[in-house]
Chain A
Amino acid sequence: MSRYNIRVIVSFSMMLFLLLMVGFGQSWSLCLSIVNLCLISAIMAMGVNIQWGYAGLFNVGIMGFTALGGLSAVLISKESIKEAVSAGGMKMLLAILIFSLAIALGLYIHRKFKSKGLVIVVLLAGYFITRYFYLDASQTIEAINPAFAGYLGGLELPVLLSWIAGGFLAAGAAWLIGKIALGLRTDYLAIATLGISEIIIAIIKNEDWLSRGVKNVTGIPRPVPYEIDLQQADWFKELVAKFYAGSLDLLPVSEQATALRDYLSEASIVFVKLCYSGLFLSVLLLIIILAGLALNSPWGRMVRAIRDNEVAASAMGKNVKQRHLQIFVIGSAIAGVSGAMLATYNGQFTPGSYIPLRYTFLIWVMVIVGGSGNNLGSVVGGFLIWFLWIEAEPVGFWLADLSTSFLEKDNYLRQHLLNNAQYIRLIFMGAVLLVVMRFSPDGILPETNKKL
């Protein structure tokens, strides 16, 4: 076995070991909720890895694409607000149609007549007509029961469809952005994508008719059963009673009902989480397989050749611009899918919570720590970083407690450290990044086929 293979096996089994430790030492429901977010994070990290690791595109706008995924979860799955649709739906549709028409007409004139003046006139006219209908429509929609609705609602389709739709929505946005910004070189592209992702968030925050803006959408339907329903389902009750029959019999009769109730709630939570894990895992595996095939195909070699030497690849007749656009769209689509999965899992879409630290830079840390250019590396990075993100808190508390245990109980330093233990999460992230970069500069699992 090669050194690399050992590394893969060791890092994955260590991750598994850590998660099992949480399961046995803390609780299975906590363990599974960490695992589920690890799976989603791994998919997000794969999206970044495809852009950065395969093609060297420095995209720091991941946040925007995950938010678009979350938006699609709302638009696909929420119940439609009948009143709003009948009051303002047609007007809004008209506004969107006019807008697209104006753009199409502008493009046509630009291609056919090459007249800049005429294009500007058409676009301006389109803007004002759109605005006329749009303002009316959005005000009508937003005025309907603003505290609980005030938007059009969704299409009432199964939420799983939104994972695909989220991918397409993000891909569409990426195509548009790529057309504008991909001509830029690395650091300029980074600044452009950072700005564009903030624009996407600003739009989502302010267009209330679309998804209630900062007022948040909660109660996104689930693809799996609700815990409360399970706790009342007879088949589930019987299953749990049978499973725990041994330990229930040991208890006195008076305590059995309470114990069964607790087992039931725990079992229902674990069951629901396992359903999610299954769904997330199958998406992750699908993406790993597809991404692996792509990376090892002639297309993958071409993309890496472009990454390593753009000029040489271009001289060989490779279409650099086109490949960059492809990669940008594919990576962003994966970020969109993971964003839709996250909104589904959280059951809510809260635009105010999209901040770059959490949705862009944390994902970048996952890719860098895991090993850029290696898909399995991104998976390990996603798992490890999210695991630490959650477990840093109890560990921080324990460290603060242990290191000051020789002090008086109400000693100022001890109190201060215990009360601020939560901050160790951020210190931890920096420390992990530094340690990995120092001892394994290419990440935990470095890129394997660097040499062409």
Chain B
Amino acid sequence: MKKYLTIIVSCAIVISMASVSFAADTIKVGLLAGFTGPIESLTPPMAAAVDLAFSEISDSGVFLGGKKIKAVRGDSTCIDAAAATAAAERLVTVEKVVAIIGPSCSGTSAAVATKVSAPNGITTISSSATSAALSEVKDNGYFFRTAPSDARQGQILANITMNKGIKKVAITYTNTDYGKGLSESFGTEYKKLGGKILMISSHEDGKADYSAEVGTLSASGASDLVIFGFIDQGGKGIIQASLDSGAFDSFIFTDGMIGPSLTKHFGKALNGSYGTMPGGESDATKKWKGIAKSSGIAIDGPFRGSSYDTAALIALAIQAGNSADKASIQKHIMGVANAPGEKIYAGELKKALEILAKGGEIDYVGAEDIEFNEIGEVFGAYQEMEIIKGEFVSVKVH
């Protein structure tokens, strides 16, 4: 039994010491993201964007009169609601974070918002949960998101498609709340505008071959294929199978499919295909690209800009209330994000902190043109991206 006791005691010591402490003048913010699980390849750049914003704030020297701010990480696993809430609880009750950035995925977001954020009164801002159903979650006013709801992106894409004179499409979506939600909002709007959907079919991610799916889709007689999927998953497989069989050569995308890895792989074969991704005025995007590039964050994927914005918003809300108290943060989030006030772009956080310290007002625009509605969701501006000469080019902002 002595052996067991030694093991258990050492375990216990490890656990009780496992909360790493920071200096007292460092304010901690939880970063709850899907570090393991299905979106594990998306999260490291998102986390890097958060760290970038926080180091900008800390280095400014004017944050709460010279304090520092730091992200403490927790794993939301993206799929396991129980593990995500436990991680959130650890961040709130053990690490004593004042706000949470995340969780990354819509399912875990709903659980954390109702079980941790609302009861603890902790402001929680997700930078990547896009499910439309999250608008209805009982969060007591503590859950925000800087990634726009899928419902809106579908509508905008339907309008663009109609304006291009495309009257008949086939749709394939990844069988997740992301793909399904988009296909429904796109379908409703497109039909309302007089378009015809010849075929809707779902695909499962992670398969080796999608020629069967493409065969069914092309049998519908459509010549344009709308893909609501993921660039590293089934979406790419669908395009590959379509090009191989010659079934489709014109594609319509959303944010999950837009990125240089797509154009790098298929090159000019996709010329003329287009899609939408969240992103604001070209000014805001330009500035964000500048600072992201100089700090080594690849901007070719979704949710990096919104992660930066989320981190910046929390710090600015702290500065606006001049207190890292959790209730004060919630009270000031809307104020710093919305007009009136001086417009603040990515990389100008020091200026914002100085204005706030003097009691002035700011209107945070950030990387992705943040503006909250009354339930704490962004309206979302979208860029229309078109593939010209084998590269994604931003054509217009909607």
Contact of A21 among B12, B81, B82, B137 (CB under 8 A): B12
What is the CA–CA distance of A10 and B138 in the complex, to the nearest angstrom?
Answer: 43
CB–CB B151/A147 < 8 A: yes
CB–CB A218/B8 < 8 A: no
Contact of B89 among A14, A30, A422 (CB under 8 A): A30
CB–CB A265/B19 < 8 A: no
B110 beta carbon closer than 8 Å to chain A: yes
From residue B308, how far is it (CB to closest CB) to chain A in Å? 17
**Chain A 224-242 interface 0/1 with B at a Cβ cutoff of 8 Å (1 = within):** 0001100100000000000
A411 beta carbon closer than 8 Å to chain B: no
Residues of B with C-beta under 8 A to A346: 81-82, 85, 111, 115
Interface SS of B by simple majority? helix
CB–CB B115/A347 < 8 A: yes
Chain B contact-residue range equals: 35 or more
CB–CB A216/B177 < 8 A: yes
CB–CB B18/A218 < 8 A: no
CB–CB A17/B81 < 8 A: no
Q: A33-B89, A393-B75, A394-B15 in contact; A18/B8 too (CB < 8 A)? A: yes
What is the CA–CA distance of A203 and B92 in the complex, to the nearest angstrom?
Answer: 37
What is the CA–CA distance of A353 and B108 in the complex, to the nearest angstrom?
Answer: 9
A358 beta carbon closer than 8 Å to chain B: yes
Contact of B90 among A26, A37, A268, A348 (CB under 8 A): A26
CB–CB B15/A401 < 8 A: no
CB–CB A34/B12 < 8 A: no
Give the one of A266, A269, A399 with max B CB within 10 A.
A269
Contacts of B352-397 to chain A: CB distance below 8 A: none
Chain A contact-residue range equals: 35 or more
From residue B155, how far is it (CB to closest CB) to chain A in Å? 11
Binds A, one of B61-69, B118-126, B331-339: B118-126
What is the CA–CA distance of A393 and B91 in the complex, to the nearest angstrom?
Answer: 12
B282 beta carbon closer than 8 Å to chain A: no
B281 beta carbon closer than 8 Å to chain A: no
Q: A228-B140, A393-B75, A401-B20 in contact; A25/B15 too (CB < 8 A)? A: yes
Contacts of B184-223 to chain A: CB distance below 8 A: 184-185, 188, 202
Q: Name the residue of chain B whose CB is nearest to the CB of A25.
A: B16
Q: A391-B15, A423-B36, A426-B36 in contact; A219/B20 too (CB < 8 A)? A: no
What is the CA–CA distance of A219 and B14 in the complex, to the nearest angstrom?
Answer: 37
Residues of A with C-beta under 8 A to B162: none
CB–CB B1/A10 < 8 A: yes
Give the one of B16, B79, B120, B133 with max A CB within 10 A.
B133
Residues of A with C-beta under 8 A to B267: none
Residues of A with C-beta under 8 A to B81: 346, 348, 350, 353
Q: A10-B4, A219-B138 in contact; A30/B94 too (CB < 8 A)? A: yes
A342 beta carbon closer than 8 Å to chain B: yes
CB–CB B19/A389 < 8 A: no
Q: A29-B89, A390-B83 in contact; A419/B18 too (CB < 8 A)? A: no
**Chain A 1-33 interface 0/1 with B at a Cβ cutoff of 8 Å (1 = within):** 000001000100010011001101111011001
Contacts of B8-64 to chain A: CB distance below 8 A: 8, 11-12, 14-20, 35-36, 44, 47
A309 beta carbon closer than 8 Å to chain B: no
A205 beta carbon closer than 8 Å to chain B: yes
What is the CA–CA distance of A17 and B7 in the complex, to the nearest angstrom?
Answer: 12
Residues of A with C-beta under 8 A to B184: 146-147, 150
**Chain A 210-228 interface 0/1 with B at a Cβ cutoff of 8 Å (1 = within):** 0001111011000000011
A361 beta carbon closer than 8 Å to chain B: no
Can you list 28 A-B contacts (CB < 8 A)? A21-B16, A26-B90, A27-B94, A29-B93, A30-B90, A146-B184, A147-B132, A148-B132, A214-B177, A219-B114, A219-B136, A219-B138, A227-B119, A258-B325, A265-B121, A268-B119, A346-B81, A346-B115, A348-B110, A350-B107, A353-B81, A390-B83, A390-B87, A395-B14, A395-B15, A397-B20, A422-B36, A422-B73
- Known pairs A33-B89, A390-B87; list 4 more (Cβ under 8 Å): A18-B8, A26-B94, A216-B106, A219-B136
| CB-based closest 9 A-B pairs | A227-B119, A27-B93, A25-B16, A398-B18, A350-B107, A353-B79, A394-B18, A422-B75, A422-B35
Give chain A's interface residues, CB within 8 Å of chain B.
6, 10, 14, 17-18, 21-22, 24-27, 29-30, 33-34, 37, 146-148, 150, 205-206, 213-216, 218-219, 227-228, 231, 258, 261, 265-266, 268-269, 272, 342, 345-348, 350, 352-353, 355, 358, 389-391, 393-395, 397-399, 401, 419-423, 425-426
